[in-house]
């Protein structure tokens, strides 16, 4: 299952150290101007090596569209695209052929398929997420025309967290620092934490908050296709994601119904709610309020230090320290969260129309 979406659908392919990563985007509305600069800029936000926090792997990550566009506009036929991998030092990974790295997918892929590509994690590498950034950028181009804006930011790194609501921050500050946190003070603390942990050869996790503004009411499906269930599935498909909640989420149990219910009122002719604990979704369908949710991420499993593990024959062994890697995935996961949110929202809007 390498396809996501119902009407607007991304099918992705590619391994970390194969020839290329790529995909097919089906169901894109026709007549859309493909702004390649914007798409590239969205991919660049995910690219390694963009700051001192990220792995220095050097990839230009240029996307090439192979179909579905004529004279700059989408034609309604599928958009095929590829991003060539430049970094294919397969021999770097020879030592991983028979070793199962802890908390990676080496062992589980072997159990699932009886074979695996050990180079950089193969298909399980987060490098696959650049296909989502491509599809997400296109979805954003469509949503922008409808006045819908999606913004994600790092709201927690290790034990440092933003306590307030997204409304308490100036989200335009998110891209001004390497951790992508809209609170400059907390951003500096997070950055220091990440650098310190990295210095120890270790890694750290965190959480990302995402806000979607401008979605009209009535978008979603009841029962199994609830919008928040689709958003949850989308987010939990991102590498290292461990949890998802929306609205007041895991804090909801702390409120009584009378405190938590979002009272409706007449806001100058428009039906609105006084509070938004629901996170913009009631019964799986939007109510016109802001949608917001959180995604928890574990620390990166690849360490710059040795770890105990076993090989495929069951022999206990020591995994060498990795030479270089991100100490925290959060900054580079922010654009991926936005991309998956954009794909999901567009897909649901097309399902309703």
Give, as ranges, the residues between 110 and 149 that touch a second copy (CB under 8 A). Answer: 111-117, 119, 122-124, 128
Nearest distance, CB of residue 351 and a second copy, angstroms: 8
Largest CA distance in the chain: 70
Q: How far is the CB of 222 from a second copy (least distance, A)?
A: 6
Nearer to a second copy by C-beta: 41 or 233?
233
By CB under 8 A, the count of residues binding a second copy is 142
x/- map, 69-98, a second copy, by CB under 8 A:
-x--xxxxxxxx-x----------------
Instruction: Determine the Cα–Cα distance for residues 312 and 98; give it in Å rounded to an integer.
Output: 5
Least CB distance to a second copy at residue 151 (A): 20
Restricted to residues 248-287, the positions that interact with a second copy (CB under 8 A) are 248-250, 252-258, 260-266, 269, 271, 273, 277-278, 281-287
| Of the residues 8, 169, 244, 292, which one makes contact with a second copy according to CB under 8 A | 244
> Which position among 151, 156, 174, 209 is part of the footprint of a second copy (CB under 8 A)?
156
Q: How far is the CB of 50 from a second copy (least distance, A)?
A: 21
Between 164 and 170, CB nearer to a second copy:
164
Question: Distance (Å, rounded) from C-alpha 36 to C-alpha 99?
Answer: 41
CB of 154 to a second copy, least distance (A): 11
Nearest-approach distance from CB 12 to a second copy, in angstroms:
6
By beta-carbon proximity to a second copy, the closer residue of 132 and 170 is 132
* Footprint on residues 166-225 left by a second copy (CB under 8 A): 197, 200-207, 216-225
The DSSP secondary-structure symbol of 99 reads: B
Q: Which of 46, 15, 21 is nearest to 124 (CA)?
A: 15
- Closest contact distance (angstroms) between CB of 150 and a second copy is 19
- Between CA 189 and CA 193 the distance in angstroms is 6
176 and 184 in contact (C-beta within 8 Å)? yes
Give SS3 for 292.
strand
| 3-state secondary structure labels for all residues of 152-171 | EEEEEECCEECCCCHHHCCH
Q: Do β-strands 149-157 and 160-161 pair in parallel, antiparallel, or remain unpaired?
A: antiparallel
- The reply on whether position 102 binds a second copy by CB under 8 A is yes
Whichever of 66 and 170 has its CB closer to a second copy, that residue is 66
First to last CA, the chain: 26
Site for a second copy in 299-318 (CB under 8 A): 299-303, 305, 307-310, 314-316
Site for a second copy in 318-347 (CB under 8 A): none
Backbone φ and ψ for 121, nearest 5 degrees, come out as 90, -5
Stretch that binds a second copy, among 20-28, 34-42, 45-53, 166-174 (CB under 8 A): 20-28
Contact by Cβ (8 Å): 220, 322 = no
Would you give the distance in Å from CA 347 to the centre of its chain?
16
- Give the number of residues written for the chain: 353
Stretch that binds a second copy, among 40-48, 52-60, 151-159, 167-175 (CB under 8 A): 151-159
What are the residues whose beta carbons fall under 8 Å from the beta carbon of 83, sequence distance 6 or more?
Answer: 14, 20, 21, 22, 43, 61, 62, 63, 64, 130, 131, 134
């Amino acid at each position: 299952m390498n396809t996501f979406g119902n009407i607007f659908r991304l099918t992705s392919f590619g391994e970390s150290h194969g020839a290329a990563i790529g995909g097919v985007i089906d169901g894109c509305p026709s007549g859309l101007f493909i702004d390649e600069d914007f798409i590239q800029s969205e991919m660049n936000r995910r690219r390694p090596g963009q700051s001192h926090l990220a792995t220095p792997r050097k990839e230009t990550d240029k996307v090439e569209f192979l179909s579905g566009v004529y004279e700059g506009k989408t034609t309604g036929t599928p958009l095929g695209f590829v991003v060539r991998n430049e970094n294919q030092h397969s021999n770097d990974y020879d030592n991983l052929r028979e070793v199962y790295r802890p908390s990676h997918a080496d062992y589980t892929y072997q159990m699932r398929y009886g074979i695996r590509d050990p180079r950089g994690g193969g298909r399980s590498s987060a490098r696959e997420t650049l296909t989502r950034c491509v599809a997400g950028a296109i979805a954003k181009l469509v949503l922008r025309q409808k006045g819908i804006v999606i913004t994600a930011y790092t709201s927690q790194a290790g034990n440092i967290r933003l306590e307030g609501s997204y409304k308490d921050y100036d989200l335009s500050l998110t891209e001004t620092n390497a951790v992508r946190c809209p609170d400059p003070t907390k951003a500096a603390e997070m950055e220091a934490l990440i650098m310190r942990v990295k210095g120890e050869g270790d890694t750290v996790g965190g959480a990302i908050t995402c806000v979607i503004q401008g979605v009209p009411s009535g978008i979603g499906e009841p029962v199994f296709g609830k919008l928040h269930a689709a958003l949850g599935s989308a987010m939990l498909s991102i590498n290292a994601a461990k949890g998802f909640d929306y609205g007041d989420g895991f804090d909801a149990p702390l409120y009584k119904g009378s405190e938590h219910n979002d009272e409706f009122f007449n806001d100058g002719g428009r039906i609105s709610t006084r509070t938004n604990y629901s996170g913009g979704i009631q019964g799986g369908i939007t109510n016109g309020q802001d949608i917001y949710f959180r995604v928890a991420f574990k620390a990166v499993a690849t360490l710059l230090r040795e770890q105990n593990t076993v090989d495929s024959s069951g022999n206990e062994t020591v995994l060498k320290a990795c030479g270089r890697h991100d100490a925290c995935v959060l900054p580079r996961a922010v654009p991926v969260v936005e991309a998956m949110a954009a794909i999901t929202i567009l897909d649901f809007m097309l399902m309703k129309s």
